[in-house]
A and B are shown apart, each in its own frame.
Chain A
Amino acid sequence: MLRLHHWRAPRAFAALALGAVAACQAPPAGPVTPAPTAQQMPAQTVHHSARLRELMQRMNAMLYERNQTELEIDKQRLDRARELAAAAATLAHEASVIGPPGAADASAREDFTHHAHALANAAAELDALAAARRYSELSPQMERVAHVCADCHLRFRVRAP
């Protein structure tokens, strides 16, 4: 069975992951919630946010891997997916405890909490898929994680230190 869709999902994921990274680096124009500085972000959150970004980058790099066999790449994607899920879940937990950056109003706080929950959900689902070795579903799920990251970053302009 020829699985042409196999590479479509990774492509979409790569685009979204890169979009999420770009969102961290290039804030959009227009009036938005003031960006927090590195001093305003707890060290742990900075650490886990960087870790999540790093894991997404590594997942993305694996799409270009030329030397490993595809079976080996699958295994490594699985391991990275579980690491990524754990990092995302930890970050979601910390975000929900800390709340939005700066002097946010009630609506912003609610929206921020909503994003944290969405990230926790996406992370839990990703881990469940990885635990079940459902390789073909990993990329679409990571796409959802990347969606939540990009959405939250665009909304709250959390910049990497």
Chain B
Amino acid sequence: MNAPRAARRGVLVALTALAATVSPAHAQEDGDELATLRAEVARLAARVAELEARLAATSSRPDAAAPTVAAAEPAPSPDTPAASTTATAQTRALAATAPASPAPTALPAGRTPDGSPPPGPRVSVGGRVKLDVVFNDRSRGSGSVGDTLLSPGAIALDGAGEDDQLDFSARASRLWVKAWQATPYGDAGAYLELDLLGDGGDARISNGYGVRLRHAYGELGGLLFGQTYSTFVNVGALPELNDDGITAGGLNVRQPLLRYTQPLGGGALQFALESPESTITARDGRRLTPDDDRLPDIVLRYQREGRFGQWSLATMARELRIDQGAGGARDAVLGAAASLAGEWRLGLADGLRFTAVGGNAVGRYLSFNAFDGARLTARGTLRATPMAGGSVSWQHLWSSHWRSNLTAGYAWADDHEAPANVNVELYTVHANLLWSPLASTTLGVEWIHAWRRQVDGHGARLNRLQFSAVHKF
């Protein structure tokens, strides 16, 4: 309660100072200035009345009675443990200097507690440095990004890949810039994030690699525009892994989009129009990305959070299309997909993250495009491919610095008439042990097992041991 008193005292001092300033001599010299000062006094008086009313309202609340200003510093107790002496001194200082307050009251967005607008845009730069040391018992060959980022739909077939390979990489390091500002329309923010997983580079001399765009988006109130995670993806449900790739049954797509978020029923409803991209299996088994789309991917998602954790239910409608011009295939097919994902907290030390997805328009959204969205039939028409998948990740905190994640995922596509080299089934298992001596630094080891099967029955297995060190700055 000291703050309102101090505020009132300050205002009264200001009023006194103003009153002293508004002398008859000054008034005679400049009538306009007097009028201005009178208006200012009236404004300040109204402000005082407003503060008085707010104080009265606060004092009348039933929960406002107990915490009053701490009066005297208590005498040190002989029972106080020596280890808490420093903290005790800080607590006393806090109790003595800051005004006690009842339960916080909500303030409108973008306003400071005294009602004034906050300062202009705040910009900060940060990033992370990450080293991955990966040992694979199977590789697709020289320069394969899949040797450091797991793509379960693309691991080398049994008997076809190269064996026992070691890779060092810092390409998953990132740099980001973020900005934030309060506006009359709500909070405005901008975010840009890059990594080094772009093209180029080799491991002979310089290990230089191209920069790749991860995120570039702006926000204004409930509106988001730019490139970031698809609305169909519940990012909070993604497991904590050393691997920056994907699990079987996992969703992870970043793309340009336009999204609006509306609070609804204690949660939030999101509607988004997102960049389309059809992936189609040709009759000879090749993957086609014809870039012939004419309608955006449409996503509707509801998400909610509580003490139990968080969950989201999303639906998506897509058009898959190909137009190869005269003499080629020309067709389009509509499809839909749904996903349920979230995190279920199990006490202070455990949590379960999960994703379940299914439909005939999931396509490239699932497991790094392990399955194509549609297939060209012998008649030259498109057949949307039904598929389903899911992943579950259990996290356990062993202590304040150590934690583990055990993750399993599975995905399946229903198209056994597809060409022989097309994936129909895959699963992955990740198990890791992570140590964070500091909040900004994490070191960990992870074992990964991945498997996939094609239409022709050929399988592929991968075992990977990955050490990672990450430092955020």
Contacts and interface: CB of A to CB of B under 8 A. Distances in A.
Binding between chains A and B = yes
A3 B473 CA distance: 8
A155 B104 contact: no
A45 interface: no
Interface string A1-16: 1111011001101100
Given A7-B473, A69-B228, A124 B193 contact: no
A89 B103 contact: yes
A144 B90 contact: yes
A3 B180 CA distance: 15
Contacts of A113: 70
Interface residues of A, number: 75
B92 A54 contact: no
Contacts of B123: 1
Contacts of A121: 67, 94-95, 98-101
A152 B91 contact: yes
Contacts of A90: 63, 103
Interface string A122-161: 1111111001111110000000100110111011000000
A11 B439 contact: yes
Given A7-B439, A93-B67, A118-B70, A154 B87 contact: yes
B94 A54 contact: no
Contact of A133 (B90, B92, B100, B118): B118
Nearest to B191: A71
A69 B110 CA distance: 21
Contact of A11 (B84, B99, B235, B438): B438
A70 B79 CA distance: 44
Contact of A114 (B74, B87, B238, B240): B74
B66 interface: yes
B215 to A, nearest CB: 5
Contacts of A30: 81
A77 interface: no
Contacts of B90: 144, 147, 151
A9 to B, nearest CB: 10
Contacts of B112: 128, 131-132
Contact of A14 (B72, B178, B187, B439): B439
Which one of B81, B87, B95, B180 has the highest number of Cβ atoms from chain A below 10 Å of its Cβ? B87
Interface in B106-125: 106-107, 110-113, 118, 122-125
B70 A117 contact: yes
A64 B439 contact: yes
B75 interface: yes
Nearest to A124: B101
A46 interface: no
A148 B91 contact: yes
B466 to A, nearest CB: 14
A3 B125 contact: yes
A97 B80 CA distance: 22
B45 interface: no
B70 A71 contact: no
B189 interface: yes
B193 A69 contact: yes
Nearest to A93: B66
Given A53-B348, A93-B66, A147-B87, A71 B438 contact: no
Contact of A118 (B91, B124, B348, B470): B91
A18 B348 CA distance: 12
A60 to B, nearest CB: 8
Contacts of B178: 70-71, 74
Interface in A7-31: 7, 10-11, 13-14, 18, 21-22, 28, 30-31
Interface string B295-310: 0000000000001000
B400 A21 contact: yes
B287 to A, nearest CB: 26
Interface in B235-288: 235-236, 238, 240-241
Contact of A155 (B81, B106, B110, B470): B81
Interface in B424-473: 434, 436, 438-440, 442, 470, 472-473
19 contacts: A14-B438, A14-B439, A53-B348, A60-B439, A64-B439, A66-B241, A85-B104, A92-B67, A93-B66, A113-B70, A117-B67, A117-B69, A121-B101, A126-B104, A133-B118, A133-B182, A133-B187, A154-B83, A155-B77
